[in-house]
Amino acid sequence: MRVFVLDSNKKPLNPCHPGKARKLLNQGKASMFKRYPFTIILKEEKPNHVNNKFELKIDPGSRTTGLAILSANNLIWAALLNHRGLQIKDSLLSRKQIRRSRRNRKTRYRQPRFLNRKKPKGWLAPSLMSRVHNIITWVKRLTKLCPINKIAQELVRFDTQKINNPEISGIEYQQGTLFNYEIREYLLEKWGRRCAYCGIQNVPLEIEHIIPKSKSGTNSVNNLTLACRKCNLAKGNQDIKDFLSNKPSILNRILKQCKQTLKDATAVNSTRWKLFNSLKEFNLEIETGTGGMTKYNRTKQGLEKTHWLDATCVGKSTPEKIKVEVIKPLIITATGRGSRQMVKPDKYGFPRTSPKLRQKQFFGFQTGDIVKAVVTKGKKVGTYVGRVAVRKTGSFNIKTAFSTVQGINYKYCKPIHKADGYSYAT
Ligand SMILES: [Zn+2]
Distance (angstroms) between ligand 1 centre and the Cα of 224 equals 15
Distance (angstroms) between ligand 1 centre and the Cα of 196 equals 7
**Phi, psi for residue 83 in degrees, rounded to 5:** -90, 170
Separation of alpha carbons 61 and 318, rounded Å: 20
**Phi, psi for residue 310 in degrees, rounded to 5:** -60, -45
Distance (angstroms) between ligand 1 centre and the Cα of 231 equals 4
Q: What is the pLDDT of residue 260?
A: 75
Distance (angstroms) between ligand 1 centre and the Cα of 217 equals 20
Is there a contact between 42 and 5 (Cβ–Cβ < 8 Å)?
Answer: yes
Distance (angstroms) between ligand 1 centre and the Cα of 195 equals 5
Would you say residue 281 lies in a domain?
A: no
Boundary residue ending a domain (257, 282, 317): 257
Would you say residue 315 lies in a domain?
A: no
Separation of alpha carbons 422 and 419, rounded Å: 7
Distance (angstroms) between ligand 1 centre and the Cα of 202 equals 11
Residue 164 CB coordination number (10 Å):
10
Distance (angstroms) between ligand 1 centre and the Cα of 199 equals 6
Would you say residue 185 lies in a domain?
A: yes
Distance (angstroms) between ligand 1 centre and the Cα of 300 equals 27
Distance (angstroms) between ligand 1 centre and the Cα of 203 equals 9
Distance (angstroms) between ligand 1 centre and the Cα of 337 equals 46
Would you say residue 275 lies in a domain?
A: no
Give the range of the structural domain holding residue 209, as residue numbers without chain letter: 160-257
Distance (angstroms) between ligand 1 centre and the Cα of 239 equals 16
Q: What is the pLDDT of residue 175?
A: 60
Boundary residue ending a domain (205, 222, 257): 257
Bridge-based pairing of strands 330-334 and 74-82 is parallel
| Nearest alpha-carbon partner for 206 in 169, 175, 178 | 175
H or E element at residue 91: helix 85-105
Phi-psi region of 29 (alpha: psi -120 to 50; beta: other; left: phi over 0): alpha
Distance (angstroms) between ligand 1 centre and the Cα of 207 equals 12
Distance (angstroms) between ligand 1 centre and the Cα of 9 equals 61
Residue 323 three-state SS: strand
Distance (angstroms) between ligand 1 centre and the Cα of 197 equals 5
Q: For residue 267, give every residue at least 6 positions away whose Cβ sits within 8 Å of its Cβ, in sequence order, or none.
A: 157, 189
Render the burial of 211-237: b for 16+ CB within 10 Å, e for the rest.
ebeeeeeeeebebbbbbbeebbeebee
Q: What is the pLDDT of residue 401?
A: 85
Q: What is the pLDDT of residue 166?
A: 46
Would you say residue 67 lies in a domain?
A: no
Would you say residue 406 lies in a domain?
A: yes
Q: What is the pLDDT of residue 171?
A: 46
Distance (angstroms) between ligand 1 centre and the Cα of 256 equals 18
Distance (angstroms) between ligand 1 centre and the Cα of 208 equals 11
Q: What is the pLDDT of residue 263?
A: 60
Q: Give CA angle at 309 (305, 313), nearest 5°.
A: 110
Sheet strand arrangement including 404-409:
404-409, 395-399, 382-389, 370-375, 413-417
Residue 34 three-state SS: strand
* Per-residue pLDDT tens digits of the chain, which is 426 residues long: 899 999 999 999 999 999 999 999 999 999 999 999 999 999 987 776 677 889 999 999 889 999 999 998 899 999 999 999 888 998 899 888 878 887 788 778 877 777 777 888 889 889 999 999 999 999 999 999 999 999 999 988 877 777 666 455 444 555 667 777 888 888 888 888 889 888 888 888 888 888 888 888 777 778 888 899 998 888 888 888 888 888 888 888 888 887 776 665 554 578 899 999 999 999 999 999 988 889 999 999 999 999 999 999 999 889 989 999 888 999 999 998 888 778 888 888 788 888 888 888 999 999 999 999 999 988 999 999 999 999 999 999 999 888 999 999 999 999 999 999 999 987
CATH number of the domain residue 378 falls in: 2.30.30
Separation of alpha carbons 291 and 158, rounded Å: 6
Number of domains observed in the structure of the chain: 3
Query: Cα 147 to the chain's mean position, in Å?
Result: 22
CATH number of the domain residue 247 falls in: 1.10.30
Directed axis angle between helix 126-145 and helix 85-105, to 10°?
140
Distance (angstroms) between ligand 1 centre and the Cα of 225 equals 11
Distance (angstroms) between ligand 1 centre and the Cα of 226 equals 9
Would you say residue 59 lies in a domain?
A: no
Strand partners, 405: 398
Distance (angstroms) between ligand 1 centre and the Cα of 43 equals 63
Distance (angstroms) between ligand 1 centre and the Cα of 103 equals 51
Would you say residue 300 lies in a domain?
A: no
Distance (angstroms) between ligand 1 centre and the Cα of 249 equals 15
Distance (angstroms) between ligand 1 centre and the Cα of 200 equals 6
Boundary residue ending a domain (210, 234, 257): 257
Residue 227: DSSP 8-state: E
pLDDT tens for residues 71-107?
Answer: 988 999 999 999 998 889 988 998 888 788 877 887 7
Q: What is the pLDDT of residue 137?
A: 97
Distance (angstroms) between ligand 1 centre and the Cα of 194 equals 8
pLDDT tens for residues 10-24?
Answer: 999 999 999 999 999
Contacts 24+ apart (CB under 8 A), 212-220: 212/237, 212/238, 212/239, 215/239, 219/169, 219/170, 219/173
